[in-house]
Copies of this chain bind each other. A is one copy, B any other.
Amino acid sequence: MLSRHHVSKLFQVVVRRASTAAATPNVLPDKTEPFYHRDLEIHAASPSQMKPKPDSLDGLKFGHTFSDHMFEVNWDAAKGWTRPIISPLHDFHIHPGAKVLHYAIELFEGMKAYRGVDNKIRLFRPDQNMARMRRTAARSSLPDFDANELTDIIADLVKLDKEWVPYSNTASLYLRPTMISTDPTLGVGDPSQAKLFVLTGPAGAYYPTGFKPISLLADPEYVRAFPGGVGSFKMGCNYAPTILIGKVATSLGCQQALWLYDKDEKLTEVGTMNIFVFWTNEQNELELVTPPLSDGLILPGVTRDSLIQIAKSWNEFKITERYPTMDEIKRATKEKRVHQVFGAGTACIVSPVGRILYKNTTTKQYEEILIPTMDSKIDVMQRLYDTINDIQYGRIEWPGWTKIVA
């Protein structure tokens, strides 16, 4: 059976590569010379290639609109990285045998650029995304790169398309760094060719008319991640299996799945977000709980980490990284000790949970659990949301968390 020790050991192997670039021989890709920001070539779009910006950010569907330019750089096991290039958004020519199309050798990141109240454009904790991207690359047998070099290139990409960064204190420019394996051979094995690219596109306000609490389907039948798997890496393979479950949730009147794990029905994640529970615990302490990173089940979200750090800085209540279980949530709800439950992620920052539709595996019945997130007298969720927004839009400063790019 998988102990935490084992899982964390594999993780450490991977982390070691990512943090020191000291490759473990025979297992991780050869140390590759990174690509450099100083080699960046920019082929700017001609006026005729440039697309009209959306008239309005309201109702802009997430991920449907892309800015004028993209970044890409290719890798080959024998030759290393090619010259990094920013050029107008274009289709890829991909061989139909490319490994990414068959074995899902692919990863991505999600991050944002914000136009601040001072009209300066900021990235939020890009070092965190770059570190996670390198860890995921190592786990995916995709090549390593230098985090600072890619960050500087992303900064140039955002600068070039700075008019695509919404003039708004609620909207932003979404950034999507991605890496895929492109070698055109069907063997299930080590990729020898890869492409790293970055897309950007405007994202409207997530809550144009205020917070909207969501309903979650909690059915232990559906499992997102497991010890010994890759749930803690941002690999494409973690997402495909969730699409059908999202549709099952919708068919039952819910917006997302609440992912449970194991016999004791641990709460692990919500849809594609981390989860936070703010309650009065059984020791009558005010406590903010979120699942731990130690088992490899949880994606180490940048928003998750930021909310923990912000809450800790207040020093007003207990903050614990552990799994709440369904039994605990049911009991605490009944005893009116649950104040707020919310998802946390880059897209929404926080997403209030109003209701859990729980499939009781003993009775085979659905149980409705109402969560008073929106009615809580202590509104930790709103306060966290406001603080992180203040940092992202430059109203307050948190040392080291923002990088001004234009």
Contact = CB atoms under 8 A, between A and B. Distances in A.
A263 to B, nearest CB: 4
Contact of A188 (B72, B89, B97, B272): B272
B1 A361 contact: yes
Interface string A101-116: 1111110100000000
Interface in A1-18: 1-3, 6-7, 9-10, 14
Interface residues of A, number: 84
A365 interface: no
Contacts of A103: 236, 239-240, 243
B222 A106 contact: no
A27 B64 contact: no
A151 interface: no
A393 B139 CA distance: 41
Interface stretch (A122-130, A178-186, A304-312, A315-323): A178-186
A47 to B, nearest CB: 22
Given A190-B243, A246-B189, A91 B95 contact: yes
A57 to B, nearest CB: 16
B221 A241 contact: no
A235 B241 contact: yes
A146 B62 CA distance: 33
B95 A106 contact: no
Contacts of A265: 1
Contacts of A189: 243, 246
A187 to B, nearest CB: 5
Contacts of A239: 102-105, 188, 237
Contacts of A238: 237
B240 A187 contact: no
A380 B25 CA distance: 39
A330 interface: no
Interface stretch (A78-86, A206-214, A223-231, A279-287): A223-231
B93 A6 contact: no
Interface stretch (A35-43, A247-255, A370-378): A247-255
Contacts of A1: 220, 262-263, 265, 361
A97 to B, nearest CB: 6
Chain copies in the assembly?
2
A169 interface: no
Contacts of A63: 97, 185-187
Contact of A97 (B61, B199, B237, B241): B199
Given A10-B222, A188-B242, A106 B108 contact: no
Contacts of A102: 106, 108, 176, 178, 236, 239
Nearest to A235: B240
A56 interface: no
A100 interface: yes
A259 to B, nearest CB: 10
Contacts of A28: 247
Contacts of A235: 104, 240-241
Contacts of A106: 101-102, 104, 240
A386 to B, nearest CB: 26
Contacts of A92: 93-96
A106 B101 CA distance: 7
13 contacts: A1-B361, A26-B251, A27-B248, A63-B186, A89-B96, A100-B101, A104-B104, A104-B240, A139-B244, A141-B244, A190-B243, A190-B246, A237-B240
Interface of A: 1-3, 6-7, 9-10, 14, 25-28, 61-64, 66, 70, 72, 89-97, 100-106, 108, 138-141, 174, 176, 178, 180, 185-191, 197, 199, 201, 220-223, 226-230, 235-244, 246-248, 250-251, 262-263, 265, 271-272, 361
